[in-house]
């Protein structure tokens, strides 16, 4: 259960090696260690994540999870709930990809669409069923500001996040009547291994800062948050910039 | 109004039953307004309805809920069934000769008090509000300002009727282990549906009250240990958590006993059992977060301390003035805003005054502000393994939910446990399963009795999941 001061007792991280996801688990664990289920591809990064969280006092379970194997997702979610209620589930997996390759190479484009959209929908449906049954808890979907308005430099990724964002926006409403909160997080540019080597955009942030935004959102049952917070107003303005001007902006 | 004379009939008259009990989905939270969850809220109209709901509870189980005055999550059950017990509100009998009241579990202490007073009978244990049900009072084994003389609520129950996990109805008396596991058992042994309570005799509904103001915590402890405390039926102190240094723990101690007719002024003698406790106003749900802050708490504390007389003897007061000040205000929990608040109540054993002082210092020096602070001396505990009161000192403080409060409360847990103390489940909303269990050396004994009575885990609440109280 999430207690009176907003501490969960169990977290499922889909994308168990995601930097934002792990930073969020650490942020919660710094107040109160908990049961953590990491769903990810097995490997040294997952082992390292497990060791780090165990050192913080968390009990860690790992489940093999491959976002592209859609028919395994229901089973992955079932296994995560086998050890009891999940208070917070974070949908943190995703691919940034190479935009120039993605819009010219079918295979790469489809891969991005499958992982970022189809797989998040597939896990989302499975999560929704479990959360509905338990009648409480919080699902966090890590979206992106890239989904708010497609940009030439990033539109394939942006289009997948737009789809994911819309799905979880609807899920927020569908699960409300079951006592379940869905939080959509829209980070801007985050310094991480995903963006390694890219030029940071204005208002660039860190996984730790995004994690703080997420923990606050879960504790206060917020449904839509930006990281950093001022990104909300930047994107609100950008959405309304006329195309001839928008395409000239250095973003 | 009650019928007089003992009643043994336990069947529910058909006249008050028709069709299936009302059922709806409801978001439920405790008095602290934190951590709401959704459940199927079923309003039973008789024992049969309760039994049926228990038999058909489903995987997420069932828990009874009274008037929702527990601060945390013991009376909510995410995804499961919650029984809205105030639907069972019959006073079956009040026997003026034996002083025993036979009541449904959904009857409130307020209702019982109003029915008992005309017979010159008084509810033996009253917590800070009368808006709790009999079932809740037993389930949390509540205590009042008279704990040092009368013990907790369970001490005054001579019989109770409970619906067990298989839907059967069982009668329990204090010679059974399940009785004592049910007292303080937070509804996790079964659903209490009816009980017989031994009431006390009183000549009036008024108190004769002595007030003492002390300049610090030591002054308060002195008054509570010099033997004078035992001469009062009722005793509790408010203390200041905003003052430090020489004023640390300055307090207003009010102690009194039920007045005899002779002690009343002539005006009150005409109707000494008159019970006049109106609700003066009800707070709307419009208060912002942060209203209860350093400034407002300091101002309140200063005022509360100064308005109290330094020393006053023999003041005649009614129950609202002396006892249940907050019952005058409906929905007073709303002033803490949408994030809600938590109440932290602990007890440390007698002899741990140094640790107690350190805890009060820790609270006073912290950035967290509490206005409604209670300090009370407990007498001996009872036989219930999960009963909270034990000989020693209990402190209650209220904190609005703010960032960092979690870690601060964890620190307090450590100080309390190191002093051999424990936390009170009726107030609890945020501790860890380990910290809770560490305070109750007989927890395993309770759990063994509970699990034997409910091997499939039919009874479950958000609290039982959070603190791992059940299977």
Q: What is the CA radius of gyration of chain B?
A: 22
pLDDT(A10) > 50 = yes
Residue B73 is classified by DSSP as S
Residue-level pLDDT at B290: 87
Here the tokens at position B8 are 């043994």
d(CA B395, CA B249): 11
Residue-level pLDDT at B2: 36
Please, are residues B469 and B459 in contact by the beta-carbon 8 Å criterion?
no
Q: Once rounded to an integer, what is the mean pLDDT over residues B9-22?
A: 54
Residue-level pLDDT at B276: 74
**Contacts with A178 from chain B: Cβ below 8 Å:** 38
Q: Once rounded to an integer, what is the mean pLDDT over residues A133-148?
A: 96
| Residue A4 to residue B32, Cβ atoms within 8 A | yes
d(CA B46, CA B193): 8
Residue-level pLDDT at B202: 97
- Percent of all residues in chain A with a pLDDT value above 70, rounded to a whole number: 100
Pick among A4, A135, A138 to test the B interface (most B CBs inside 10 A):
A4
Sign, CA torsion B443/B448/B450/B455: positive
Of A7, A32, A134, the CB nearest to B78: A134
Residue-level pLDDT at B8: 39
Pick among A5, A58, A138, A215 to test the B interface (most B CBs inside 10 A):
A5
Residue-level pLDDT at B280: 64
Cα separations in angstroms, B194 against B68, B86, B191, B251, B397: 18, 12, 9, 40, 32
Please, are residues B75 and B84 in contact by the beta-carbon 8 Å criterion?
no
**Contacts with B37 from chain A: Cβ below 8 Å:** 1, 135-136, 179
d(CA A218, CA B350): 41
Here the tokens at position B107 are 């009857």
Mean pLDDT for all residues in chain B: 93
- How many beta carbons lie within 10 A of that of residue A245, not counting itself? 8
Residue-level pLDDT at B349: 98
Here the tokens at position B232 are 């009062």
d(CA B405, CA B417): 18
| Residue A4 to residue B36, Cβ atoms within 8 A | no
Here the tokens at position B221 are 């402890």
Lowest mean pLDDT among A105-114, A190-199, B88-97: A190-199
Axis crossing angle, helix B353-365 with helix B217-225, rounded to the nearest 10: 150
- Percent of all residues in chain B with a pLDDT value above 90, rounded to a whole number: 84
pLDDT(B11) > 50 = no
pLDDT(B5) > 70 = no
Of B60, B339, B406, the CB nearest to A31: B406
CA B268, chain centre distance (Å): 30
pLDDT(B159) > 50 = yes
d(CA B70, CA B132): 9
Here the tokens at position B94 are 């009040």
The side-by-side arrangement of strands in the sheet containing B100-104 is: B91-95, B100-104, B191-198, B157-163, B169-172
pLDDT(B246) > 50 = yes
The pLDDT confidence band at residue B21, using thresholds 50, 70 and 90, is: confident
pLDDT(B17) > 70 = no
The side-by-side arrangement of strands in the sheet containing B234-239 is: B311-318, B206-214, B251-258, B234-239, B374-378, B392-400, B341-349, B422-423
Lowest mean pLDDT among A23-37, A190-204, B203-217: A190-204
Q: Establish whether A117 is a catalytic residue.
A: no
Residue-level pLDDT at A8: 98
> How do residues B72-84 score in pLDDT, each as one tens digit?
999 999 999 999 9
State the pairing for strand pair B329-330/B281-282. Answer: parallel
Q: Once rounded to an integer, what is the mean pLDDT over residues B135-141?
A: 98
Kindly list the residues of chain A whose beta carbon comes within 8 Å of any beta carbon in chain B.
1-7, 9, 31-32, 84-85, 133-136, 177-179, 220
Closest CA to A99 of A90, A108, A107, A91: A108
Please, are residues B90 and B446 in contact by the beta-carbon 8 Å criterion?
no
d(CA B436, CA B444): 12
| Long-range pairs of B7-15 with CB within 8 A, sequence gap ≥ 24 | B7/B92, B7/B93, B7/B102, B9/B92, B10/B47, B10/B161, B10/B169, B10/B194, B12/B45, B12/B46, B12/B47, B12/B48
Residue-level pLDDT at B6: 38
State the pairing for strand pair B234-239/B251-258. Answer: antiparallel
Q: Once rounded to an integer, what is the mean pLDDT over residues B202-225?
A: 96
Of A1, A32, A178, the CB nearest to B462: A1
Tell me the sheet residues that pair with B157: B197
> How do residues B24-46 score in pLDDT, each as one tens digit?
999 999 999 999 999 999 999 99
d(CA A141, CA A36): 17
Residue-level pLDDT at B206: 95
Residue B120 is classified by DSSP as T
Here the tokens at position A125 are 């449906």
pLDDT(B424) > 50 = yes
- Percent of all residues in chain B with a pLDDT value above 70, rounded to a whole number: 95
């Amino acid at each position: 259960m999430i207690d009176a001061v907003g501490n969960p007792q169990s977290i499922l991280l889909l994308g168990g090696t995601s930097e934002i996801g792990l930073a969020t688990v650490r942020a919660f664990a710094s107040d109160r260690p908990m049961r953590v289920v990491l769903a990810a591809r097995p490997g040294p990064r997952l082992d390292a994540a497990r060791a780090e969280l165990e050192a913080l006092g968390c009990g860690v379970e790992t489940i093999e999870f491959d976002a592209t194997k859609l028919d395994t997702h229901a089973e992955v979610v079932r296994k995560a709930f086998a050890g009891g209620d999940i208070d917070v589930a974070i949908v943190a997996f995703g691919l940034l990809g190479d935009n120039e390759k993605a819009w010219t190479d079918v295979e790469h484009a489809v891969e991005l669409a499958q992982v970022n959209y189809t797989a998040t929908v597939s896990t989302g449906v499975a999560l929704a069923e479990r959360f509905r049954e338990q009648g409480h808890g919080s699902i966090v979907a890590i979206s992106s500001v890239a989904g708010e308005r497609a940009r030439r430099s990033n539109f394939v990724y942006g289009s997948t996040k737009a789809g994911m964002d819309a799905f979880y926006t609807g899920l927020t409403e569908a699960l409300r009547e079951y006592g379940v909160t869905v939080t959509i997080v829209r980070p801007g540019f985050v310094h991480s291994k995903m963006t390694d080597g890219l030029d940071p955009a204005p208002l660039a942030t860190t996984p730790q800062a995004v994690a703080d935004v997420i923990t606050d959102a879960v504790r206060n049952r917020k449904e839509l948050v930006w990281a950093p917070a001022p990104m909300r107003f930047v994107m609100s303005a950008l959405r309304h910039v006329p195309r001839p001007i928008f395409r000239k902006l250095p973003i | 109004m009650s019928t007089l004379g003992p009643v043994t009939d336990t069947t529910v008259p058909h006249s008050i039953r028709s069709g299936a009990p009302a059922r709806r989905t409801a978001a439920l939270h405790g008095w602290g307004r934190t951590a709401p969850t959704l459940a199927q809220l079923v309003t039973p109209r008789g024992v049969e309805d309760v039994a049926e709901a228990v038999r058909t509870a489903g995987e997420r189980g069932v828990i009874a809920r009274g008037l929702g005055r527990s601060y945390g999550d013991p009376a909510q059950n995410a995804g499961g069934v919650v029984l809205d017990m105030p639907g069972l509100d019959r006073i079956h009998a009040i026997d003026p000769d034996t002083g025993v009241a036979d009541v449904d579990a959904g009857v409130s202490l307020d209702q019982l008090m109003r029915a008992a007073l005309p017979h010159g009978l008084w509810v033996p244990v009253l917590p800070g509000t009368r808006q709790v049900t009999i079932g809740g009072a037993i389930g949390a084994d509540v205590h009042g300002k008279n704990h040092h003389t009368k013990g907790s609520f369970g001490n005054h129950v001579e019989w109770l009727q409970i619906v067990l996990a298989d839907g059967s109805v069982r009668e329990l008396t204090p010679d059974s282990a399940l009785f004592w596991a049910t007292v303080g058992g937070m509804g996790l042994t079964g659903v209490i549906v009816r009980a017989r309570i031994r009431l006390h005799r009183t000549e009036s509904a008024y108190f004769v009250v002595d007030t003492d103001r002390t300049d610090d915590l030591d002054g308060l402890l002195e008054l509570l240990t010099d033997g004078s405390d035992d001469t009062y039926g009722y005793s509790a102190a408010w203390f200041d958590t905003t003052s430090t240094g020489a004023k640390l723990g300055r307090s207003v101690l009010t102690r009194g006993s039920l007045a005899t007719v002779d002690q009343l002024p002539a005006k009150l003698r005409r109707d000494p059992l008159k019970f006049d406790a109106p609700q003066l106003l009800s707070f709307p749900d419009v208060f912002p977060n942060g209203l209860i802050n350093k400034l407002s708490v300091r101002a309140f504390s200063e005022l509360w301390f100064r308005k109290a007389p330094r020393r006053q003897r023999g003041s005649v007061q009614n129950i609202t003035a002396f006892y249940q000040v907050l019952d005058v205000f409906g929905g007073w929990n709303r002033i803490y805003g949408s994030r809600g608040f938590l109440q932290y109540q602990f007890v440390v054993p007698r002899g741990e005054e140094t640790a107690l002082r350190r805890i009060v210092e820790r609270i006073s020096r912290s950035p967290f502000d509490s206005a409604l602070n209670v300090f009370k001396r407990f007498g001996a505990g009872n036989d219930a393994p999960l009963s909270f009161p034990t000989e020693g000192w209990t402190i209650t403080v209220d904190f609005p939910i703010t960032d960092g409060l979690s870690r601060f409360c964890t620190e307090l847990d450590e100080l309390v446990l190191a002093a051999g103390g424990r936390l009170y489940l009726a107030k609890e909303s945020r501790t860890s399963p380990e910290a809770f269990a560490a305070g109750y050396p007989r927890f395993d004994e309770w759990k063994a009795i509970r699990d034997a009575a409910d091997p499939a885990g039919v009874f479950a609440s958000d609290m039982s999941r959070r603190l791992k109280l059940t299977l």
